Structure 1
Amino acid sequence: MKNARDGRARILEGALRRFSQDGVSATTLARLRQDSGVSVGSFYHHFASKEHVFGVLYAETLRMYQDEFLKVLAQAETARAGISGIVAFHIAWCGDHPDRARLLFGERPPRRHEPGGPETAELRKGFFGQVIDWWKPHARNGDLKHVDVTTCYVLWLGPAQELCRLWFAGARTPGQAEIETLSEAAWLCLRQTPES
């Protein structure tokens, strides 16, 4: 039983590194088996395909990111603290988990082929529901704009995500000045402004 668990863990660990390094499309099933050191039979005992491995890793990583995101958001005492705190969290999380960040925010299949299947769809639904629950009172109070989820995500984390992509591609590590600039930019984009 222990060897079976070890084999599955080795496949996932090797796949995470390989997907991060080469991308999902360029990674072959043979390479995943070679990296993990498992036999063909052992691989198929745990996973049906390369896409299955990716789906499991993706769902696991998405849950990890979302859980930590929601903890940061729950601790925010103001709308501005929430917006700024999440920008800083996103950049720090990507730095702490670069392989997982590349997996989560890099190469993405079309939505109709959601990695992880129904489990991932449910994770997203629950996550965005909790973010909306945090957002609505701030919008009613006049602190945050009334925006749809997609626009909110792009304005809130789009620049931070692009900064992380550049960082992973070889740009210098972002410093506190960049984090503060992006946090302020997100706040200015998402706060409600009085009508003139």
Structure 2
Amino acid sequence: MKSVKSGRDGRTRIIDGALRRFSQDGVSATTLASLREESGVSVGSFYHHFASKEHVFGVLYAEILTMYQDAFLGELMRHDDARAGIEAIVTFHMTWCGDHPDRARLLISERPPRREEPGGAEVGDARRAFFRKVAEWWRPHMKAGLLQPVPPTMCYVLWLGPAQEMCRLWFAGAHHPTAEEIAALCGAAWHSLRQPSAELT
């Protein structure tokens, strides 16, 4: 039992250390030696859990993405009203990024692993499942003439693109978003995604 616990602790220490290093230095600038130093594990312990730095990143990215998507869907499904749902997600996104800055930096700044790379298959599967669930919420509002019929990529860009850019400024220390600015981002998302026939107010 002790060896199982130690194994779990070693993996957790590596993942936690990688989160700190990747978010501060970026994945490309982080070395395997700095990962081991940050997590305080031996070479043998590291390779017991992970094959490479890229393997750590793939696992970490997939875990963060799942955490974000689960929280996103939990918030979205609370809203039956189209505008309320669109605006709530913008607020959720800004709040989540503020509550989890290290994780948010990775999602915003780093390229997701490709399907052939470690973690890539998990990330791809998670994205498809996520967009299916968002589409299930979206479809009735689209049929009701409230939301536009937009493909997933454009939906993401119109919905959260401006909020993402605000987060980039925030994380760079260039600007701290105000409540009024977040409200403006919510309104901008609604006006970008609503159908022209939807209520303007």
TM-score (norm 2): 0.93
Q: Shift in Å at residue 194 of structure 1?
A: 2.9
Q: In structure 2, which of residues 128, 131, 134 is the aligned counterpart of residue 128 of structure 1?
A: 131
Report the counterpart of residue 58 of structure 2 in structure 1.
55
Report the counterpart of residue 192 of structure 2 in structure 1.
189
Distance 1:122 1:88 in 2: 26
Q: In structure 2, which of residues 76, 85, 104 is the aligned counterpart of residue 73 of structure 1?
A: 76
RMSD of the TM alignment (CA)?
1.5
Q: Shift in Å at residue 173 of structure 1?
A: 2.2
Distance 1:92 1:185 in 2: 17
C-alpha distance 96-115 of structure 1, shift in aligned 2 (>3 A): farther
Greater CA deviation, 81-90 or 113-122?
113-122
The answer on whether the counterparts of 2:72 and 2:92 sit within 8 Å (CA) in structure 1 is yes
Greater CA deviation, 111-120 or 79-88?
111-120
The answer on whether the counterparts of 1:79 and 1:143 sit within 8 Å (CA) in structure 2 is yes
Q: In structure 2, which of residues 178, 181, 186 is the aligned counterpart of residue 178 of structure 1?
A: 181
Residue 12 (structure 2) pairs with residue 9 (structure 1): yes
Deviation sequence 1:78-104 (CA, Å, 0-9, x none): 100011000000000000000000111
C-alpha distance 71-108 of structure 1, shift in aligned 2 (>3 A): same
Secondary structure of the residue aligned to 1:142 is coil
Distance 1:114 1:163 in 2: 30
1:117 counterpart letter in structure 2: G
Residue 10 (structure 2) pairs with residue 23 (structure 1): no
State the number of aligned residues.
195
2:153 counterpart letter in structure 1: T
Q: Shift in Å at residue 117 of structure 1?
A: 2.1
The answer on whether the counterparts of 1:59 and 1:115 sit within 8 Å (CA) in structure 2 is no
Greater CA deviation, 66-75 or 166-175?
166-175
Q: Shift in Å at residue 9 of structure 1?
A: 0.9
Q: Runs of 4 or more off by more than 2 Å in structure 1?
A: 109-115
Q: In structure 2, which of residues 155, 158, 178 is the aligned counterpart of residue 155 of structure 1?
A: 158
Q: Shift in Å at residue 57 of structure 1?
A: 0.6
2:156 counterpart letter in structure 1: Y
Residue 189 (structure 2) pairs with residue 164 (structure 1): no
Q: In structure 2, which of residues 132, 136, 141 is the aligned counterpart of residue 138 of structure 1?
A: 141
Distance 1:115 1:40 in 2: 20
Pairing 1:95-134 to 2, within 5 Å after superposition: 95-108=98-111, 111=114, 116-134=119-137
Secondary structure of the residue aligned to 2:80 is coil
Distance 2:126 2:19 in 1: 20
Unaligned runs of 5+ residues in structure 1 are none
Secondary structure of the residue aligned to 1:75 is coil
Q: Shift in Å at residue 123 of structure 1?
A: 0.6
1:174 counterpart letter in structure 2: P
Greater CA deviation, 16-25 or 104-113?
104-113
Secondary structure of the residue aligned to 2:58 is helix
Secondary structure of the residue aligned to 1:38 is coil
Unaligned runs of 5+ residues in structure 2 are none
What is the percent sequence identity of the aligned residues? Answer: 68
